[in-house]
Amino acid sequence: MNPMQRAALLVCIMMSLVGCEAEQTLPKAKQGSFARSEYYPVVSDPQKATYYQPVEIDQVLPHLPQSLKQHLNLIDPGQLPFPVEKPTAFLVQFQSGGKEKLQHQLQLTYLREKDEYGREGNEFFIIRMTEVGENPFALMKEIQPGLDTFGNKIEVEPLREDVPMYHHIIQTNSSPVYTYYVWNEKEKQVNLLATRANEIDFYHDGVWYQIAYLINGNQVDEQVQKQMVELVKHMIK
């Protein structure tokens, strides 16, 4: 091998190493706030949380723990009842319950695309998956279908034989606050956006799923509700 060939080979190796390093690193946010559920306070005291900047969904996949990756069955954005901006993924690493074991939370964000004036409609479909280990619903009082304290509907149905699904449907002007991750580019931090949403919650194989949606101003639409449930059913591998 002549000197020119050796130099070319060295450049290729260096570029390959740089590429590998980039693939192994997610950019961290300066700080963030942890997203919780007001319906189910499953993770009450997250500690030593590390927040990562949002990336496209395919970019986060190599960084997911196996417990999340093996259960991640991505939806087709074209199946949502509104045009979607490019979906993004937020990843959070944390500890809880005084345990040293690292846990992870993944949020997949599907927002309505901006209109011609750059305005975002308040329509979204959010998937949040959190490593929790034990089934949090097993420690709670049995959840019955009916109405919650706000007068909103609770539907309970099997997602599959051994996985009950709890569907909270807003029908009044009051409801618990729902928060989801948004990116603050100026401050380089992960913020929480507080709003209201219909929620579908369930636990499966070490992962707590929290799916939230707001469609068409949240007008009561049973067809949309059924459509969301069908999307969720296809998420379980």
Cα-based angle 172, 175, 178 (whole degrees, multiple of 5)? 135
Q: In the chain, what are the domain boundaries?
A: 26-138+177-233
Backbone φ and ψ for 192, nearest 5 degrees, come out as: -110, 135
Per-residue model confidence as pLDDT tens digits over 6-38: 554 454 444 444 344 334 689 999 999 999 888
Per-residue model confidence as pLDDT tens digits over 92-116: 999 987 778 899 999 999 999 876 5
- In this prediction, residue 53 has a pLDDT band, given cuts at 50, 70 and 90, of very high
Residue 119: predicted pLDDT: 53
Q: Which two tokens stand for residue 215?
A: 């469609």
Q: Answer whether 51's CB lies under 8 Å from 92's CB.
A: yes
Token pair 């097993």 in the structure block, residue: 138
* pTM of the complete model: 0.86
Per-residue model confidence as pLDDT tens digits over 160-217: 888 999 999 999 999 999 999 999 999 999 999 999 999 999 999 999 999 999 998 7
Residue 68: predicted pLDDT: 94
